Every structure is written in structure tokens, then in C-alpha cells.
Amino acid sequence: MSKTSAGILLFRFNAQALEIFLAHPGGPFFEHKDDGVWSIPKGLCEDNEDLLETAKREFQEETGFAVDGAFIELGSLRLPSGKLVHAWALEKDVDAGRMVSNSFEMEWPRHSGQIREYPEMDRAAWFSLAGARIKIARGQAEFIDRLVSRIGNSC
């Protein structure tokens, strides 16, 4: 059975230009990677949890920011990994430099016996529309296109 996640794609207008908020995954696998690995803050749904509530919870866990407001449903996408992701967009401005993520533990280096703690997301940033399309993980780029089609051609 495939896993189901839910997430939030924040956006804002800065000098009338659309900007997209993305987060960079933490841990040693992503430490030296940039283009094509950034993500919308998202996470796994718990049993019987409402998908939008999952998205809001996961956004707060991964960024430290609570979100609420007029969400725009972006539907779902099946990622190359097989995971199904449901997403919503929200117009909201946050200070990406103040992001604080939850953490996870893993053995690193592999087979070393050393357990280390890493932030789930190690940084966040606002990107132009073109920049976001370069930075976002391949399987999530369609969410940006869906956002643009829902808010119109003003971006």
C-alpha cells in the first residue's frame, strides 16, 4: 500500500511578482544537493486524519509556522517514489530565515553505529516562479503549475 502525504504550498506577491516558499530537506543525503530537491512542507497522514489538517500540522512541524486561512486545493500527485501527495496553496508571508524544523535520528555514517540527529528541513527560502521550478523536486512541480492556473495569469 502506498503512503499518503499532505502539504502546503505558500505563495506571496513581492512587487507584484509571484514568489513560492520551499524547504530544503535536511540530513546527509541532501547536504550538497540543491536544484531539484527542495519541497513543499509535507508529511505522512496519520490514521483517519483529515488531509488538510495533516498538511497544516506537517507545515508547522517542518517550518515552525502555524498556517490558516483561505486554502486553495491543488489536488494530488503521485510522486516517482509511489507516494501520493495532496496539496493546498495559501497566500501568506513568513520570514524564511526564522524557519525551525523538527528533527529525526539516523545512523551516520552508515554502519558506523553512530546515531545523529538532523533537522527534517534545514532551511527555507522564497523563490521567483522560474527559480521555484528549478529548485522543486521533479514530482512536485505540477503543484506550482496548478497554483498559477488557479490564481490567474497575473503572476
Q: What is the CATH number of the domain that holds 31?
A: 3.90.79.10
Domain that holds residue 47: 4-151
Domain count, the chain: 1
**Single-letter amino acid, residue 26:** G
Average pLDDT estimate for 73-92: 96
> What pLDDT, on a 0 to 100 scale, did the predictor assign at position 153?
54
Q: CA–CA separation, 97 vs 59, rounded Å?
A: 15
> What pLDDT, on a 0 to 100 scale, did the predictor assign at position 2?
59
Q: CA–CA separation, 105 vs 101, rounded Å?
A: 13
Kindly report, residue by residue over 26-36, the tens digit of the pLDDT: 999 999 999 99
> What pLDDT, on a 0 to 100 scale, did the predictor assign at position 108?
84
Residue 32 phi, psi (nearest 5): -110, 20
> What pLDDT, on a 0 to 100 scale, did the predictor assign at position 32?
94
Q: CA–CA separation, 60 vs 55, rounded Å?
A: 9
Kindly report, residue by residue over 85-144, the tens digit of the pLDDT: 999 999 999 999 999 999 999 998 888 999 999 999 999 999 999 999 999 999 999 999
Average pLDDT, the chain: 94
Phi-psi region of 36 (alpha: psi -120 to 50; beta: other; left: phi over 0): left
Cβ atoms of 33 and 24 within 8 Å: the answer is no
Q: In 10 A of CB 111, how many CB atoms? A: 7
Does pLDDT of 1 surpass 50?
A: no
Does pLDDT of 155 surpass 80?
A: no
